[in-house]
Amino acid sequence: MRLTAAVLCFGSCMTAFLLVTASVHAQSKTSRLADGAPNLSGVWVNTGFKKVGGMLERFPSSGLPFQPGGADFWNLKVTGDPHHDEPIFYTTVNRDGDFGCRPVGMPQVSLTANAQQLLQTPGYLLIIYEGVHSARMVPMDGRAHPADLDPTFLGNSVGHYEGDTAVIDTVAVRPGMSDAGGHHMHSEQAHYIERYRRTGPNSMSFELTIDDPKVFNKPWTAGPWKLELHPDWTIVEGNCEDAIFDPSKRDLKLLDYLHHAK
């Protein structure tokens, strides 16, 4: 009886030991900053998007928890009018008849396959985006959103760390396009939660939870996608210029976000 118990104990105890050892080893692979936060700094590229019909697939068009009529709002009906079909870029025509450019808002800015650089300072996470050059400075001290926010393109973002994961919560986003490739739209009630987690020396996962009560009857999560670290890269400046809306002058390297994607 004692021998049987010892054998059983050996097997179960060894399993527990291996699990604990693996957990400690996994935790040790995540480098940390002086304040204990996971080190997410560096130049990253999202390689997890799939190319479908020449565009990058980010969000599905069907099979989501839609409110009644939500699918019709979510899926923009393309008319051929660029001001209607590409609200991510086009503003109204000016007096000279030229197209204007508008900033890329949330969540499209975080769904880029261009490079993005993460920089961490005490209490903040700075994200600089290469495509249509923009940046977000996110306080990571767990503060709440301010009251009575006016909607903006990037919205108001606050964050905190949950173990090895950076969690960013964004509200007060202007209604408009959620992702360019799928022509998906969000309302003024859109609420986004991003999660960034190191998964290896040169890899990180990114997932995005979408909560838009006007469109969906419950939150849902897209991803996770894989981001790859490029220590030897320097991000370049990419801007929305009027000339790129002339089909004869377009530089699709910035418009389709494919030049860094695999």
pLDDT at 80: 85
Regarding predicted confidence, which is higher, 239 or 62?
A: 62
**Rounded CA gap, 85 and 172, in Å?**
23
CA–CA gap between residue 224 and residue 258 (Å, rounded): 19
With 50 as the cut, is the pLDDT of residue 25 above it? no
Confidence bin at 237 (pLDDT 50/70/90) = confident
Cβ 201 vs Cβ 39: under 8 Å: no
Tell the residue number behind the tokens 């961490």, with chain if given: 120
Strands 203-211 and 191-200, how do they pair? antiparallel
For the stretch 146-151, contacts whose Cβ atoms lie closer than 8 Å and that sit 24 or more positions apart, written own/partner, are 151/175, 151/188
Task: Name the most confidently modeled range: 51-65, 104-118, 200-214.
Answer: 200-214
User: Tokens 């995540």 appear where?
Assistant: 30
Binning the chain into helix, strand and coil, the percentages to the nearest 5 are 20, 35, 50
8-state DSSP, 61: S
Question: So what's the pLDDT on residue 182?
Answer: 81
- Mean pLDDT, rounded, of the chain: 81
pLDDT in tens, 138-180: 999 999 999 999 999 999 999 999 999 999 999 999 999 998 7
**Percent residues over pLDDT 70 in the chain:** 74
Res. 191: pLDDT tops 90? yes
Q: How many CB atoms lie within 10 A of CB 257?
A: 24
Task: Using alpha carbons, select from 122, 258, 112, 256 the residue that is nearest to residue 194.
Answer: 112
The pLDDT of residue 58 is above 50: yes
With cut-offs at 50, 70 and 90, classify the pLDDT of residue 2: very low
Domain boundaries, the chain: 1-30, 42-255
Residue 208 is classified by DSSP as E
β strands within 61-202, DSSP E: 116-121, 124-129, 134-139, 156-162, 165-171, 176-179, 184-186, 191-200
pLDDT of residue 258: 41
Segment 74-90, tens digit of pLDDT:
999 989 887 788 887 77
Model pTM score: 0.81
H or E element, residue 223:
strand 220-229
| CB proximity list for 28: less than 8 A, separation 6 or greater | none
